[in-house]
Amino acid sequence: MMPVWLLFLTIAGKLTALGKDVVFAGAFGAGPSADAYFVANQLPGIIWLAVYGTIVSVFAPLYIRRMANSADGASFANEAVRYYFYVAVVLTSICWFSADWMVWIAAPALNEPTHTLAVELTRIMVLGFALTGYVGVQSAIQQANTQFVPPLAVPVMNNIFAIAAIFLAWYWGNVTIAVIGAVAAYLVQAVIQRLQTLRFYKTEFKFRVSGTVIKRLSLLSAPIVFASVLDQLNIVVGTALASGFGTGAVAQFNYASRLALFIAGVFSWLVSYVFFPTLAGNAAKNDDLANAALLTRGLAIVLVATAPAAAGALAMRQEVVALIYQRGSFGVEDVAATASLFGLLGLGVVFVSTRELLNRVFFSYQRTVAPMLVGIAAVLANLGFSLWLLQQIGLAGIALGNALAAVVFFLGQLALLWRWKPQLLQRRLLGYAGAIIVAATITYGITIGLVSMLAADLHVFARLTMGGLILIGSYVPTLAILLLMIGITPRTALAELRGDAMQNDGY
């Protein structure tokens, strides 16, 4: 069973990250400063997030293979730190001098003052690339050594530091302070994590990175970088198209998108984080049977936790958005617009929640090209759907196009996995997925119907409370019945989710 403290720390990290958006919304609403802030986060964030993702997907599996020899593992860790530092310096330079062009690509319809502010914020943000890369290496080393708590605890402190910076930005009326605080938070995190990894390797004060390490990391990372950029471009497509709908549209789209990603990512990220070292270890031993069981368990945990949360949030999207964001500069009109976008983006939540774990299956076997191919298909689908739906239903079409792209990404992952290693997709996995999604869909309808009948005139918090009780009360028995219909008893399902030995229910 997954330790409770890991779940607690993950939720704390995600909640404090969401808290940054909540505080920011209250301070700056959906006005020009918010538009500039979110645009400045777009392309630089995507580029570096892609590189950061290779630390977990490429560096970590290679380090796991070399850490058996402590000297070899320490040498590789030091070379990786230098490698990612040099990459950060190059990317920082490129993004600094290309900031104006990058902002125009991300949001071509911004007015001149907002565009100028976004360029300024972009240049500040890219200064943190070296720090985030260093933090990524330290986190991967801790994860490889099964030290899961520190990498999960430090981001909580990072988010709290960033929230304090947003308060200062609000007090001084200058959004730039919030961005400076976000960069400074990574400096604090880097220092803390290095103190925690001292027992795993000592720092070598050198400048050289061997040609072998450069070649190995670069060749394996290239397709992952490309795939990650393509994946994240789905948000850029939405932001770029939203910029043509006037002041506030970019911020509203990003608030809705971040809320959807929050719901999709809590359990998905935790399961992927905890299971990845085992997946990589099994892959190194070519133990496909063990990884098939692990994948079934992991996806079942992700879906059984995410699907009802998504159903409830979508059923009560107006109340959810109001409770989270409506305060300060974020008014009633912003709530209505954001909730409308969230209602459509939320259709892709369940599919997005499976993405990280399925990607890490490919990364465990060092099949880094597969996610890239799926990413290309998803971006093209997003662009095509969004442009067509934009003509039909306006801004809402951008959100729906994004959700449909998430479905394309999910189906592409399954198709490639089935073609490459069908033995990893157990029949039992399909049973769990089908039952969970159908149960969530039924629960969604029940929640909407009963809340509108019983709680239409209640205060927003009372409606949310009643909706939550209805959700839980209908989801659990519905799922239990559906699982029994396909031959899986609740007792067996709980045992498998805990990681106990496989039970035989004749399924």
Q: Could you tell me if residue 47 is inside a domain?
A: yes
Binning pLDDT at 50, 70 and 90, where does residue 269 land? confident
| pLDDT at res. 276 | 80
* pLDDT of 503 above 60: no
| pLDDT at res. 502 | 46
Q: How far is CA 42 from the centre of its chain?
A: 14
Q: Could you tell me if residue 29 is inside a domain?
A: yes
Q: Could you tell me if residue 82 is inside a domain?
A: yes
pLDDT digits (tens, 9 = 90+) for 462-502: 888 888 899 889 999 999 999 999 888 888 888 887 776 54
Q: Could you tell me if residue 142 is inside a domain?
A: yes
- The whole-model pTM stands at 0.77
The domain total for the chain is 1
Binning pLDDT at 50, 70 and 90, where does residue 274 land? confident
Paired strand residues for 330: 327
118: containing domain:
1-237
Task: Answer with the residue of higher pLDDT: 231 or 54.
Answer: 54
Q: Could you tell me if residue 203 is inside a domain?
A: yes
Contact, 247 vs 54, CB < 8 A? no
| pLDDT at res. 308 | 92
Q: How far apart are CA 450 and CA 407, in angstroms?
A: 29
Binning pLDDT at 50, 70 and 90, where does residue 506 land? very low
Closest to 180 (Cα-Cα) out of 126, 136, 132, 137? 126
| pLDDT at res. 5 | 66
Q: Return the percentage of the chain with pLDDT > 90, whole number.
A: 33
Sign of CA dihedral 469, 475, 480, 484: positive
| pLDDT at res. 1 | 45
pLDDT digits (tens, 9 = 90+) for 290-343: 999 999 999 999 999 899 989 988 888 988 999 889 888 888 899 999 999 999
Count CA within 13 A, CB hemisphere, residue 220.
22
Q: How far apart are CA 276 and CA 363, in angstroms?
A: 9
| pLDDT at res. 174 | 94
Task: Answer with the residue of higher pLDDT: 337 or 132.
Answer: 337
Q: How far apart are CA 95 and CA 43, in angstroms?
A: 9
Q: What is the mean pLDDT of residues 63-73?
A: 84
The pair of structure tokens assigned to 317 is 């999207």
Q: How far apart are CA 452 and CA 304, in angstroms?
A: 25
Q: How far apart are CA 71 and CA 294, in angstroms?
A: 31
| pLDDT at res. 391 | 87
| pLDDT at res. 6 | 66
In sequence order, what are the residues at sequence separation of 6 or more whose Cβ sits closer than 8 angstroms to the Cβ of residue 215? none
Q: What is the mean pLDDT of residues 195-206?
A: 87
* pLDDT of 289 above 50: yes
Task: Answer with the residue of higher pLDDT: 304 or 147.
Answer: 304
Q: Which of 175-184, 235-244, 390-399 has the lowest mean pLDDT?
A: 235-244
Q: Could you tell me if residue 100 is inside a domain?
A: yes
Q: Could you tell me if residue 182 is inside a domain?
A: yes
The SS3 assignment for 326 reads coil
pLDDT digits (tens, 9 = 90+) for 12-54: 888 888 889 899 999 999 889 999 999 988 777 777 777 777 8
Phi, psi of 365 (to 5 degrees): -95, 10
Q: Could you tell me if residue 190 is inside a domain?
A: yes
Task: Answer with the residue of higher pLDDT: 478 or 157.
Answer: 478
Contact, 447 vs 471, CB < 8 A? yes
| pLDDT at res. 23 | 93
Q: How far is CA 375 from CA 44, 168, 233, 264, 449, in A?
A: 18, 38, 9, 18, 37
Q: What is the mean pLDDT of residues 200-211?
A: 88
Q: How far apart are CA 468 and CA 472, in angstroms?
A: 6
Q: Which of 53-57, 126-130, 132-136, 405-409 has the lowest mean pLDDT?
A: 53-57
Contact, 252 vs 334, CB < 8 A? yes
